[in-house]
Amino acid sequence: MSVSFDDDVKACAALVHKADPDRFLAAMAAPVAARAILFPIYALNVEVARAPWVTQEPMIAEMRLQWWRDALQEIAQGPTVRRHEVVTPLSRVLSPHLAEKMDKYVAVRRWDIYRDPFEDQDHFDAYIDHSNGTLLVAASQALGPADEEVVRDFGYGVGVANWFRAIPDLEARGRIPLLDGTSAGVKQLARSALQRIEKARSSRASISDQARPALYAGWQAEWILKHVIAQPERVAAGALSQGEMRRRLSLMWTAASGRW
């Protein structure tokens, strides 16, 4: 798919740069043509991820999420799509099929609005799968052929790694982010997530060269999960960030080798 790097895409890039520097760097490591596709999708993620948090009123937060579900429905059904600096370029990079798939990606964020804990492991897994996994499916398949099951395995592992990094902030906001917050429980979750990444990597051939840059966004996940397994107390301490030099060099290696 050929997409121009117009003012809307530049606005999406600026939004991602400000709010999600890791995905911004990952997109910048992709070919220029791929960036024009990735930035609108990553900008959508910024908008949807923050929608539940910008107000203390649950009804308003629900309305904000519904706005994005309606916008995605317009993209899925066409032909008219609302004018918006994210929705407009998004309508050029998401197929109707992918736009429809993204509905669950938005709907699952309702968990962020309220203070209820996850019901069970299936509930937690579904949250990670639909939030991070579906986002990764949309990004990769918008670029080129990519096996959905493989992408979801990788996306689950990346999603859990990102979740670990978010836990101090979630707890500060009164949320209960883990089913088992003990050291043993945290280590087991990290091991399961790492196994999903390893499973995905065993099927690298099912991800086309064109789709591969979407997976660059998970370049830090293995490092994070291995550190959690070794020292689970780092999760609560918020000590899961790589040094800046290591962070950039590891991304450069991922992009140069193609071995996500």
Domain ranges of the chain: 1-114, 115-260
Mean pLDDT of 169-198: 97
| Per-residue confidence (pLDDT) for residue 5, from 0 to 100 | 86
Alpha-carbon torsion angle 40, 213, 160, 112, nearest 10: 0
| Per-residue confidence (pLDDT) for residue 78, from 0 to 100 | 87
| Per-residue confidence (pLDDT) for residue 189, from 0 to 100 | 98
CA distances from 35 to 42, 173, 211 (A): 10, 33, 12
Q: Mean pLDDT across the chain, nearest whole number?
A: 96
Nearest to 219 by CA among 166, 154, 126: 154
Cα distance between residue 241 and residue 173, in whole Å: 21
Mean pLDDT of 128-132: 97
Rounded-to-5 percentages of helix, strand, coil across the chain: 75, 0, 25
Mean pLDDT of 90-108: 97
Instruction: State yes or no: pLDDT of 96 exceeds 80.
Output: yes
Mean pLDDT of 172-187: 96
| Unique residue bearing structure tokens 């964020």 | 109
Give the confidence band of 2 by pLDDT, cuts at 50, 70, 90.
Answer: low
Cα distance between residue 66 and residue 167, in whole Å: 26
Cα distance between residue 73 and residue 96, in whole Å: 8
What pTM was computed for the model? 0.96
